[in-house]
Amino acid sequence: MDRKYELTQNNKVIPLIMMAVGVVAIVMGFMTDHYRAWATLLHNNFYFTAIALCGTFFVAVQYVAQAGWATGIKRVPEAMGAYLKYGMAFMLVIFIFGHHDLYHWTHKELYDPSSDKYDPILDGKKGFLNVPFYVIRLIAYAAIWVGFTYLLRKQSLLEDQNGGLEPYNKSVVLGAVFIVLFGVTSSTSAWDFLMSIDSHWFSTLFGWYTFAGLFVSGLAMMALFILVLRKKGYMPHVNENHLHDVGKFMFAFSVFWTYLWFSQFMLIWYAHLPEEVVYYQVRWEYFKNLWVANLLINFIAPFLVLMTRDAKRQSAILWVAGIIILAGHWLDVYLMVTPGVLGKDWQLGFIEVGTMVGFLGLFLRTTFVELSKAPIVPQNHPMLQESLHHHI
Amino acid sequence: MSGNHEAAVRDPLILGNKTYHQMTEDICRPIEGKANKYWWISFVISATAMVWGLICLAYTIGVGIGTWGANKTVGWAWDITNFVWWIGIGHAGTLISAILLLFRQRWRMSINRSAEAMTIFAVICAGLFPLFHTGRPWLDYWMLPIANQFGSLWVNFNSPLLWDVFAISTYFTVSLVFWYLGLLPDLATVRDRCVTPTKKFIYGLLSFGWKGTARDWHRFEEVSLVLAGLSTPLVLSVHTIVSFDFATSIIPGWHTTIFPPYFVAGAIFSGFAMVLTLMLIARKVLSLESYITIQHVELMNKIIILTGSIVGVAYITEFFIAWYSGVEYEQYAFMNRAFGPYWWAYWSMMTCNVITPQLFWFKKIRTSVMATFIISIFVNIGMWFERFVIIVTSIHRDYVPSSWTMYSPTYIEVGIFVGTIGLFFTLFLIFARVFPVIALAELKSILKKTGNQYKKGDQNHG
């Protein structure tokens, strides 16, 4: 019951090889087209940062909602949060060095009334979209997200050592505060990182839409880690009932993502205002196949695969669903980033996939290392018995 | 689950060392005894309000909707505000019985019956407004897609108003069936305890011959699961489609993509506020403190904080994006909301919906019955103002300044609204006298897990 994850040789070597592939892809990207390289860096780093953030969010929600069943698996989302510090550091680097290529609004001449490139709309937004304030916000997100990940993890480890209800009670408070901050920063960061790429475009739903997508990706990643740990024998206490619950979450939030996708798209399509439809117009004209595939992969596929009770209780099917969801939302983030940066000159090839492999390598490495630092079962959690005897 | 593994950190949900028999006694008492003085006073007041509403409604039918304050610029006002407000209130019931069921929240069992009843009554009240706003309610069947030979025109399937007809009627039907299905075993309990043959006959009919056999229960659970599955998307769909009524337009303040989930969150927020308002009175009057405990109140208050904060984030998002969009009409609409002639409505909404629920962060306040009651009333008021703000302030100053105008309700409109409140409470009071207000059979299923006497000895898992 107090077993820690032991890093295997493969855990050490494979992520390194993956990261090497990533470096090659990034270098190739910069050698061919630096716009494309920055776009793929932002796309992949945002994607894995968001998944890591969901790990912390999931842990916080379990405390605040007094959920008992997830106690046995909570070390997985906890460990996923370990990537956040790298993710946010990369975010800062990407912004500092890539902002001119990624974010149209960072060009100075747009704000100069005497310039022929003067843009009155962006000039109106400069109170929010300006480099110093953006960097301040980025650092604030990093401080909040990484900080709360650290604090929640610290309480969790203290509980292992000392027991008692104090770490649990503190975690409930930390979780509640984090959820409030997350509620605000998940939206504002989506505006910053993604929505401001299409500098003129706006949608009030964008933040929640992004959240729904990242949450379902985080759940899928969590499911895959649980399946790996179970297969390796680290989670004898996790049975099909726990998988069922994870599967239900994946199903529910796939549908929720679709709901928000539909709400945003349908309202913009219906009202047909030029300043809004431009976003979908670019995607429809230049990315049509991917854009349609996005909806099919992220809605139809998980919906059909995970619909029945039995499906959610089988590892093999959860593997399939998890990979579909992760691939689908990787594509969704791609479609949020690339059209605004590259427009019709987009490509999707080794540079994008290789960069993804690299970031995935880093993510796997940080998560497995974090898993190896503490027992897979939280030792003294007050709801542990509920999770060990979970039956639905 | 074999044995009781419930964590010791969870507080009991049933207090007072109840036995199964005592639970039956406690919950059937309001039906079997005579109504007390408070019930009669409430009933007379509610019924009077309802009658007054009927008179105003009759006057509207006779004279026309010119008796209302709505005008050419502000074509939707008081009536649609009330419609959306009532529909919103009707959300808590199905949320509790369907979504909280999926999340395995056992505390819902003490409140789901009344909340579902409330849903049904609130949807009835809501439906009246658009039905009468048509001006010729005797032609309301034109809203259905029926052949042209009946004198109607084929409906416009592109219109969200038509989607609303389907969404709300489906929601009403499923909620009604779900609620009634849950009542069957409890009605049978009441039937079996009846002393007079007339009552026994009536409850016998109402309980559809429920015998309580294994086969009955098996079918009951199968149908419940199917209905819960159907209800979950329905809860989200109804207010989503209500929000489409506004958001598919191109009116600044109405057309915004956050509307669907934000309306749903607001609806759950107002629904829970109304559940609290009613249940805090009911638990006192019907002596149900052992079943609707302070913990139930606290948990509902947590949902109020959550949904209230979601609504607050949505308000701020809308305001921010209006500025960020750079569209001057959007910007004006929001400035006009906050600082224009209807500023008082906007700030009432902000105070009641965003600020007061934050008081629930203090444990003392969220576990105080009095404070909860007061704040729940605030939320009810705030959510009414939210709809007023969205509807009236967005359209009273439209694209053509020469048509700018103000709106104020007539006493006829106010009378109809008061009438629906009367109708709602009348129906609820009757409900509390004829049906068990707590899902008795369901609640019994958790007594041995969460009754206080069963939790005492269970300290070894902490």
How many CB atoms sit inside 10 A of residue B201's CB? 12
Considering only the beta carbons, identify the residue of B250, B256, B326 that sits closest to A204. B256
The b/e string for B305-344 (b: 16+ C-beta within 10 A; e otherwise) is: bbbbbbbbbbbebbbbbbbbbbbeebbebbebbeebebee
> Average pLDDT for residues A195-217, to the nearest whole number?
95
Flag whether A5 is in a domain.
Answer: no
> Average pLDDT for residues A156-180, to the nearest whole number?
92
> Average pLDDT for residues B428-453, to the nearest whole number?
89
Flag whether A184 is in a domain.
Answer: yes
Name which of A156, A107, A153 is nearest A130 in CA terms.
A107
Q: From CA B407, how far away is CA B78, in angstroms rounded?
A: 9
- What percentage of chain B reaches a pLDDT higher than 70? 98
How many CB atoms sit inside 10 A of residue B226's CB? 11
Domain range for A311 is 11-370
CB A29 within 8 A of CB A351: yes
For B407, which DSSP code? -
pLDDT at B407 over 50: yes
Bridge-partner residues for B451, per DSSP?
B14
CA angle B197, B203, B209 (to 5 degrees): 105
Chain A residues within 8 A of B318 when measuring between CB atoms: 204
A298 touches chain B (CB under 8 A): no
Q: Which two tokens stand for residue B266?
A: 């607001």
pLDDT tens digit sequence for B342-384: 999 999 999 999 999 999 999 999 999 999 999 999 999 999 9
Q: From CA A89, how far away is CA A143, in angstroms rounded?
A: 11
Q: Which residue carries 């007390």 as its tokens?
A: B36
Residue contact A264–B257, C-beta within 8 A: yes
> Which helix (H) or strand (E) segment is B384 a member of?
helix B369-388
Flag whether A319 is in a domain.
Answer: yes
Number of domains within chain A: 1
Mutation target to probe the B interface, by most B beta carbons within 10 A, among A204, A237, A259, A276 is: A204
Residue B106's region, left for phi above 0, alpha for psi from -120 to 50, else beta, is alpha
Of A62-71, B146-155, B198-207, the least confident: B146-155
Residue B319: which residues within 8 A CB-CB, separation 6 or more? B334, B338
Chain B nearest-CA distance from A120, in A, is 9
pLDDT band at B318 (very low <50, low <70, confident <90, very high): very high
CA B272 from chain centre, in angstroms, equals: 7
pLDDT at B132 over 80: yes
Q: Which two tokens stand for residue B314?
A: 């949505």
Q: Which residue of A has its CA nearest to B308?
A: A180
CB A26 within 8 A of CB A355: yes
Q: What is the pLDDT of residue B456?
A: 64
Flag whether A384 is in a domain.
Answer: no
A248 touches chain B (CB under 8 A): yes
pLDDT tens digit sequence for A38-94: 999 999 999 999 999 999 999 999 999 988 899 999 999 999 999 999 999 999 999
Q: What is the pLDDT of residue B460?
A: 45
> Average pLDDT for residues A175-197, to the nearest whole number?
95
Chain A nearest-CA distance from B16, in A, is 24
Flag whether A375 is in a domain.
Answer: no
DSSP B18-80: --HHHHHHHHHHHHHS---HHHHHHHHHHHHHHHHHHHHHHHHHHH-GGGSS--SS--S-HHH
Q: From CA B324, how far away is CA B347, in angstroms rounded?
A: 22
Residue contact B258–A204, C-beta within 8 A: yes
Of A122-126, B223-227, B423-427, the least confident: B223-227
Residue A337 identity (one-letter amino acid) = V
ipTM of the assembly?
Answer: 0.92
For B451, which DSSP code? B
Flag whether A383 is in a domain.
Answer: no
Flag whether A104 is in a domain.
Answer: yes
Q: From CA A224, how far away is CA A322, in angstroms rounded?
A: 6
Q: From CA B117, how far away is CA B137, in angstroms rounded?
A: 26
3-state secondary structure string, chain A? CCCECCCCHHHHHHHHHHHHHHHHHHHHHHHHCHHHHHHHHHHHHHHHHHHHHHHHHHHHHHHHCCCCHHHHHCHHHHHHHHHHHHHHHHHHHHHHHHHHHHCHHHCHHHHCCCCCCCCHHHHHHCCCCCHHHHHHHHHHHHHHHHHHHHHHHHHHHHHHHHCCCHHHHHHHHHHHHHHHHHHHHHHHHHHHHCHHHCCCCCCCCHHHHHHHHHHHHHHHHHHHHHHHHHHCCCCCCCCHHHHHHHHHHHHHHHHHHHHHHHHHHHHHHHHCCHHHHHHHHHHHHHCHHHHHHHHHHHHHHHHHHHCCHHHHCCHHHHHHHHHHHHHHHHHHHHHHHHHHHHHHHCCCCHHHHHHHHHHHHHHHHHHHHHHCCCECCCCCCCCHHHHHCCCC
Q: Which residue carries 């912004």 as its tokens?
A: A95
Q: Which two tokens stand for residue B167?
A: 């969404």
pLDDT at A229 over 50: yes
Name which of A348, A364, A363 is nearest A33 in CA terms.
A348
Chain A nearest-CA distance from B202, in A, is 38
> Which helix (H) or strand (E) segment is B378 a member of?
helix B369-388
Considering only the beta carbons, identify the residue of A125, A259, A266 that sits closest to B324. A125
CB B282 within 8 A of CB A228: no
> Average pLDDT for residues B303-324, to the nearest whole number?
94
Residue B26 identity (one-letter amino acid) = D
For B256, which DSSP code? -
A267 touches chain B (CB under 8 A): yes
CB B311 within 8 A of CB B269: yes
Chain B residues within 8 A of A384 when measuring between CB atoms: 461
Q: What is the mean pLDDT of chain B?
A: 90
Residue B250: which residues within 8 A CB-CB, separation 6 or more? A271, A273
Is the dihedral angle over the CA atoms B130, B135, B139, B143 positive or is it negative?
negative
Q: What is the pLDDT of residue B1?
A: 40
Flag whether A1 is in a domain.
Answer: no
Of B11-20, B48-57, B204-213, B418-427, the least confident: B11-20
Chain A residues within 8 A of B9 when measuring between CB atoms: 66, 165, 168, 382-383
Q: From CA B145, how far away is CA B158, in angstroms rounded?
A: 13
Chain B nearest-CA distance from A263, in A, is 7
> Average pLDDT for residues B427-449, to the nearest whole number?
90
pLDDT band at A184 (very low <50, low <70, confident <90, very high): very high
Q: Which two tokens stand for residue A294?
A: 């996005």
**B195 vs A254 pLDDT, higher one:** A254
pLDDT band at B448 (very low <50, low <70, confident <90, very high): confident
Q: Which two tokens stand for residue B140?
A: 């309301």
The pTM is what?
0.94
Considering only the beta carbons, identify the residue of A65, A68, A392 that sits closest to B7. A68
pLDDT tens digit sequence for A89-143: 999 999 999 999 999 999 999 999 998 999 999 999 999 999 999 999 999 999 9
Q: What is the mean pLDDT of chain A?
A: 93
CB A219 within 8 A of CB A250: yes
pLDDT band at B147 (very low <50, low <70, confident <90, very high): confident
pLDDT at B3 over 60: no
Q: What is the pLDDT of residue A2?
A: 79
Residue contact B3–A389, C-beta within 8 A: yes
Q: From CA A75, how far away is CA A86, in angstroms rounded?
A: 19
Number of Cβ pairs closer than 8 Å across A and B?
104
pLDDT band at B459 (very low <50, low <70, confident <90, very high): very low
Q: From CA A198, how far away is CA A216, in angstroms rounded?
A: 24
> Which helix (H) or strand (E) segment is B188 a member of?
helix B160-193
Q: From CA A202, how far away is CA A285, in angstroms rounded?
A: 19
